Amino acid sequence: MYFSGLPEQTGRALATAAWGWHAETGPHVLRLAAAGVFARHPDLQIVVGHMGENLPFSLMRADAVLGKADPDAPSVAAVIREHLHITISGYTTTPPLLCALQVFGADRIMFAADYPFGDTVEHATFLREAPITPADRDKIAYRNAQQLFRL
C-alpha cells in the first residue's frame, strides 16, 4: 500500500526493514505514553529495537506538538525517556547512535544485533569503534542489560 507502483522487492523492502517497520513502531510507543499506560503502570519498562524506531530523531517535535494539543498532559518525551529502552539493532552508523545518545542518554541504550537479519560481528565492531566514551560503550554493551533484566 505505502510503496505500490515500485518493483515488488523494492516495495517490500521499503514497507518492512528499510522504512515501514520503523515508521509504524515509533507511533505505537507515542500512543502508549499519550494514553497514560505508563502512568497506570509506573514500573513498566519496554524495549524497542532499531535505534529507537525513529523516536530519537522525532521525539522532541512530537512532544512539542502534543504539548500544544493537551497542555495539561505530562511531557510525552519525559514519560518515554523514563520507560523506554532502545537497542542499536539494525543500525551500524554513527549519526543515529549519536542522536540516540543525545535524546535518551547511554543509560537507555543496549546492544543487539538484529539477529537473524543483522550481522552480529558488524554490530559488535560498530559498537567497539563508535566515537563514544568507554563508560558509555560498557553501558550499551552489557551494563544496561544487566541492570534492566537483573542478569
Whether the predicted pLDDT of 3 surpasses 80: no
The answer to whether residue 43 is domain-embedded is: yes
Specify the CATH number for the domain of residue 20: 3.20.20.140
pLDDT of residue 16: 86
Side chain identity at residue 30, one-letter code: L
Q: Which domain holds residue 103?
A: 8-149
- What is the total count of domains within the chain? 1
Question: Mapping DSSP to helix (H, G, I), strand (E, B) and coil, where does residue 119 land?
Answer: coil
The single residue of 43, 70, 72, 114 carrying the catalytic annotation is 114
Residue 111 lies in a domain: yes
- Give pLDDT, residue 142: 99
Does residue 106 lie in a domain region? yes
**What is the rounded average pLDDT of the residues 84-95?**
97
Could you tell me if residue 139 is inside a domain? yes
For residue 52, tell me if it sits in a domain: yes
Q: Which residue has the higher pLDDT, 122 or 1?
A: 122
- Determine the pLDDT at residue 2: 64
**Distance (Å, whole) CA 89 – CA 105:** 17
In this structure, is residue 3 part of a structural domain?
no
Provide the whole-model pTM: 0.92
pLDDT of 78 over the 90 cut: yes
- What percent of the chain has pLDDT above 70? 99
pLDDT at 13: 87
What confidence category does residue 51 fall into, taking pLDDT thresholds of 50, 70 and 90? very high
- For residue 1, is it within any domain? no
Region of poorest pLDDT, from 28-37, 65-74, 102-111: 65-74
Q: Reply yes or no on whether 114 is catalytic.
A: yes
Angstrom distance (rounded) from CA 80 to CA 56? 11
